[in-house]
Every structure is written in C-alpha cells, then in structure tokens.
Amino acid sequence: MQPARPAVPSSHLDLDPLLLLPVRLFVMCLLADLHWYEDAVLANALRVKPTVVALHVERLAAAGYVSVRVAGRRTKLRLTPLGLDRLTAHVTALQAVASTAAQLVTARHGGPPSPT
C-alpha cells in the first residue's frame, strides 16, 4: 500500500506568471519597502546590467506593479500597492507549492537520510 499523497494546493493558481522569472521576482522583493530606488542600485544588487533591469521593469510597469520616474539619465522605481499585493500573494503561493513539493518527496522517499 502506497502512502497517501498530499493534494496539490489550489494556491498554485495564485502564482503570478509575471513573477516566475527570478529577476522580476527579485526586483519586486527589493522594492517591497515601497521606497524609490534608482535602477542602477537594483542592477548592482542583482549583479545584472541596467538594461536587463529595464527590460523587466518595463513589463512590471505595464502590469501596474511598479511606478517609474525618469529625470534626465536617472530612473527611479517604486513598487505600487497593487505590486505589493501581487508580490505577497505570489510568495505565499510559492511557499505552499514548495511545502507540497517537500511533502511529495518525503512521502515518496521516506524523508531525509539520517546522519551517520
């Protein structure tokens, strides 16, 4: 008799397709305090080129998740209230999916090996 498998949570429906790419997710996380940040600061924190950040921010801004202010050569970014709501829902859904995945692995393999 096989052990019962946990049901796949409906929370996977709360995963936001825009936030499945790590760069976008991390940009949103860095902006979670709702302060304005220069895109160069985010690029530096993520260790990517500013053009990479700009590409992803364009999609996030189009969805209403990020506000963008441009002044000369400087671009400042801030998470919107909608962005914070979507980020929170996405992270919560990711936690539920990861928890279910861990339960499935444990049920299939009997848990992590004990140290010898």
Q: What are phi and psi of 4, to 5 degrees?
A: -65, 135
CATH topology of domain 16-108: Arc Repressor Mutant, subunit A (1.10.10)
Radius of gyration for the alpha carbons in the chain, expressed in angstroms and rounded: 18
3-state secondary structure 42-72: HHHHHCCCHHHHHHHHHHHHHCCCEEEEEEC
Pair 107, 3: CB distance under 8 Å: yes
- From first to last of its 116 residues, the chain has per-residue pLDDT tens of 555 555 555 556 679 999 999 999 999 999 999 999 999 999 999 999 999 999 999 999 999 999 999 989 899 999 999 999 999 999 999 998 888 888 888 888 765 566 66
pLDDT of residue 105: 86
Pair 53, 68: CB distance under 8 Å: no
Could you give the count of Cα atoms lying within 13 Å of 58 in the half-sphere of its Cβ?
6
Domain map of the chain by residue range? 16-108
Entry pTM: 0.80
pLDDT of residue 12: 62
